[in-house]
Amino acid sequence: VIDQPKSNMFLDQIEMILGKENILTGGRVAERSHHIWCLGQPLQALAVVFPRSTQEVSEIMTVCKEHQQPVVVHGGMTNMVGSTETKGNELVISMEKMNKILEIDTVSMTVLVEAGVIIENLHQAVDKEGLMFPVTYGAKGSAQVGGMIATNAGGLRVFRYGMTRNWVLGLEVVLADGTIISSLKKLVKDNSGLDLKQLFIGSEGTMGIITRAVLKLRLASKSRNTAVIAVETYAQVVGLLQYMVEALEGALTGFELIWKDTYAAMIGVLQGKGVPLPVGSQFYVLMETSGTDPAMDRELLEHVLVKAFEKGLMQDGTVAGSDHEQQHFWRIREDVDHLVAMCSHDQHFDVSLPISLIDQYISEISEKLNKIPEVDRYFVYGHMADGNIHLIVSNTVGNLSIKEKINQLIYSPLPKYGGSISAEHGIGLHKKRYLSYSRSSEEIALMKLLKTTIDPSNLLNPGKIF
Ligand SMILES: Cc1cc2nc3c(=O)[nH]c(=O)nc-3n(C[C@H](O)[C@H](O)[C@H](O)COP(=O)(O)OP(=O)(O)OC[C@H]3O[C@@H](n4cnc5c(N)ncnc54)[C@H](O)[C@@H]3O)c2cc1C
C-alpha cells in the first residue's frame, strides 16, 4: 500500500521521458518473458520501457537513481546464464528500439551502431559494402550488439578472429546515475590512460548500459568452404587440428567438434535430407576455411583433406558443394534449439580447458553422468580449437538438488585441469555460486570493489555475477 504511490510517481516520471507508447505496465508486462526459450513464462517486472536514444536512457537512469529503482537490461534475451531474469520490483529496459546502423566507414573499416541492432542485420549490412564483422554464433538472428558486448560473446570463429572484445573500438555507456560516458572513436590505438570500455565488455549489464558502439570490421572473405569430417579417436582430432593449422595457415576459420551421440541427435534437424556423413565414428569435425580465391581455396581444402586421410588423421570427409549446402551443414551445429527440444530441465555448460585435456575431462564426467539415474541424456560439442566445450545435460526431475549435483559434477574437476566454468557465456545467476572454481577470492573481491565504486546503490542487474 505504501509502495504503490511511490511506484506510480516513478512511472509517471518515466512516462514523461518516453511517452505512454514506450512503456508496458500491469498485465502487458506478463505478455513478455525473460528469455527466448521461456516464452510461455510471464515476465515479472515493475514495467518494461523502450528508450529510443542515449539521452532517454540517461534520463531513465537519473530517475531510477532518485527512486533507488533496480534495473535489468534486456537485449535479444539469448544469454545462457539467467542474466536477464528479473524480480517483480525491477524495471526492464529493452534496447529493441535502439536498432539503427548509423554509419559504415569503408575507409576506417568501422561501423557505428546502436546497441539494439541484431547481429545478423549487422552482418548483412556490412556485407553489402564488401566488409565483414567476424563474431558469429547460433543466436545471431536474435542477439543484439549490446548483449554481444555485455557478454563478450565468442562463437564459431574465435580461433581465427578472437572474441567480441577484439572488435570493439569505442563504446557509449550510461552509468547507474545517468552519466553518459561517450567514447565513440574509430581508433585502433589509444593509450591515453585506462581503457575504460573494458570495464563494460563482458560485465553482463552490471556496470553500465551500452547504448552505442564503434566496431572494427575486416574485408569480407571472397570464398568460404565447409567440410564435415569423421574421426575415430581424440588423438586423431588433435592431430587433424594441428595439421590443418599448419597446412591452411590463416585460412582455417572454424573447427567445431561434435561427439558421436550428439552428432546423431543434431542431424535430426535435417530430417534425413542432405545428411553430410552417416553416424558411425566417435567424433565429427565441422571445419570452415575462408580466403580470397574461390577456385583455388576449394582445391586447397580438398587437397589437405586427402593428405589428412593419407596421414591416418580422419576416416571420412565431405566438402559442401554450394553456399546453400554450407548453410545446411552449419545448421547442424547452430540449431541448438533442436537439441533443447529433446531435453527436459536442461542445464547448459560452457567450460574451457587446455585442448590436450578435453577428452580426459569429458570421459571423467561422462562416467559420472552415466551413473545418475535421473540424467536421461546429455550432449557434448564445442569450439574445440578454442579449448571450449558445451554440454547440455537433461534430467527427468528438475529439482534443485539434482541441478546442484550435476553442476558440482561438471564444475568441481575443472580446477585440477586448469579450466574455467565459463568460456564465453558469462556467469549471470546460474553460475554465480561456482565462480570460485575459476577465480581467486582476491579477484572476486576486486570485481566487487569495482562494481560498488561504479554502481554504489547496486541498481544495475543486481544479484548477477557477484
Ligand atoms: C542458440 C544459441 C547459441 C549461442 N551461441 C553462443 C556462442 O557460440 N558463443 C557465445 O559467446 N555465446 C553464445 N550464446 C549466448 C550469448 O551470450 C548470447 O546469445 C548473446 O551474446 C547475448 O546477446 P543478447 O542480445 O541476447 O543479450 P541478452 O541475453 O539480452 O543479455 C545478456 C546480458 O547482457 C546484458 N545486456 C544486454 N544488452 C545490454 C546493453 N545494451 N547494455 C548493457 N547490458 C546489456 C543483459 O542485462 C544480460 O546481463 C548462444 C545463445 C544461444 C541461444
Q: How confident is the model at residue 363 (pLDDT cuts 50, 70, 90)?
A: very high
Alpha-carbon span 148 to 135, nearest angstrom: 9
Which strand (E) or helix (H) includes residue 242? helix 234-248
Q: How far is the CA of 202 from the centre of ligand 1 (A)?
A: 10
CA distance 32 to 42: 6
Residue nearest to atom 21 of ligand 1 (CA): 148
Ligand 1 atom with least separation from CA of 138 = 3
Closest ligand 1 atom number to CA of residue 79: 29
From 176, 166, 179, 173, select the one nearest 196 (Cα to Cα).
Answer: 173
Write the pLDDT tens digit of every residue in 306-321: 999 999 999 999 999 9
335 vs 393, residue with greater confidence: 393
pLDDT computed for residue 5 by the predictor: 61
CA 309 – ligand 1 centroid, Å: 38
Q: Residue 219 C-alpha to ligand 1 middle, in angstroms? A: 25
Separation of CA 151 and ligand 1 centre (Å): 6
Report the separation in Å between the CA atom of 145 and the middle of ligand 1, taken as the mean of its atom positions. Answer: 9
What distance in angstroms lies between residue 79's CA and the mean position of ligand 1's atoms? Answer: 4
Task: Decide if pLDDT at 434 tops 60.
Answer: yes
The pLDDT of residue 231 is above 80: yes
pLDDT at residue 161 above 60?
yes
Residues lining ligand 1, CB < 6 A?
A: 72-80, 83-84, 95, 115, 137-139, 143-144, 146-148, 150-151, 153-155, 204-205, 209-210, 336, 424-425, 461
Through-space distance between the first and last CA atoms of the chain, rounded to whole angstroms: 32
Pairing between strand 347-352 and 375-383?
unpaired
- Give 277 Cα–ligand 1 centroid separation in angstroms: 32
Atom 41 of ligand 1, nearest CA residue: 146
Q: Summarize the confidence of residues 388-397 as an average pLDDT.
A: 97
**What does the pLDDT average to over 151-176?**
96
Q: What is the pLDDT of residues 321-356, one digit of tens each?
A: 999 999 999 999 989 889 999 999 999 999 999 999
User: Residues 365-386: pLDDT tens digits?
Assistant: 999 999 999 999 999 999 999 9
Q: How much is the average pLDDT of 67-71?
A: 98
Q: Whose CA is nearest to atom 19 of ligand 1?
A: 78
Q: What pLDDT does 2 receive?
A: 46
* 427-452 average pLDDT score: 96
Rounded to whole angstroms, how far apart are CA atoms 428 and 329? 31
CB 205 within 8 A of CB 73: yes
Q: Can you tell me which residue has the cell 586423431?
A: 236
Using alpha carbons, select from 186, 210, 197 the residue that is nearest to residue 98: 210
The Å distance, Cα 396 to ligand 1 centre, comes to 27
Q: How far is the CA of 81 from the centre of ligand 1 (A)?
A: 9
Average confidence score pLDDT of the chain: 96
Task: Encode burial over 183-202: b for 16+ CB neighbours within 10 A, e otherwise.
Answer: ebebeeeeeeeeeebebbbb
User: Are the C-beta atoms of residues 54 and 122 closer than 8 Å to each other?
Assistant: no
Tell how far the Cα of 401 is from the centroid of ligand 1, in angstroms.
27
73: phi then psi, degrees, rounded to nearest 5: -85, 135
Of 79, 161, 339, 388, which is best to mutate to test ligand 1, by the most ligand atoms within 8 angstroms of its C-beta? 79
**Cα 90 to Cα 84: distance, rounded to the nearest angstrom:** 11
What's the rounded Cα separation, in Å, for the pair 279 and 267? 9
| pLDDT (mean) for 231-259 | 96
Query: What span, in angstroms and rounded, lies between the C-alpha atoms of 58 and 208?
Result: 11
What is the DSSP secondary structure assignment for residue 406, as one 8-state letter? H
Residue nearest to atom 50 of ligand 1 (CA): 139
pLDDT attached to residue 1: 43
CA distances, 66 to each of 9, 72, 207, 283 (Å) = 11, 17, 18, 56
Which atom of ligand 1 sits closest to the CA of residue 156?
8
Nearest atom of ligand 1 to the alpha carbon of 115: 41
80, 118, 151: residue to mutate for ligand 1 pocket, most atoms within 8 A of CB: 151
Q: Where does the pLDDT of residue 6 fall: very low under 50, low under 70, confident under 90, or very high at 90 and above?
A: low
Whole-number Cα distances in Å, 227 to 278, 407, 448: 14, 34, 45
Residue from 35, 73, 343 whose mutation best tests the ligand 1 pocket (most atoms within 8 A of CB) = 73
- How much is the average pLDDT of 402-409? 96
User: Is the pLDDT confidence value at 4 over 80?
Assistant: no
Question: Which pLDDT score, from 0 to 100, does residue 7 have?
Answer: 73
From ligand 1's centre to the CA of 78, what distance in Å?
5
CA distances from 283 to 138, 252, 351 (A): 21, 19, 19
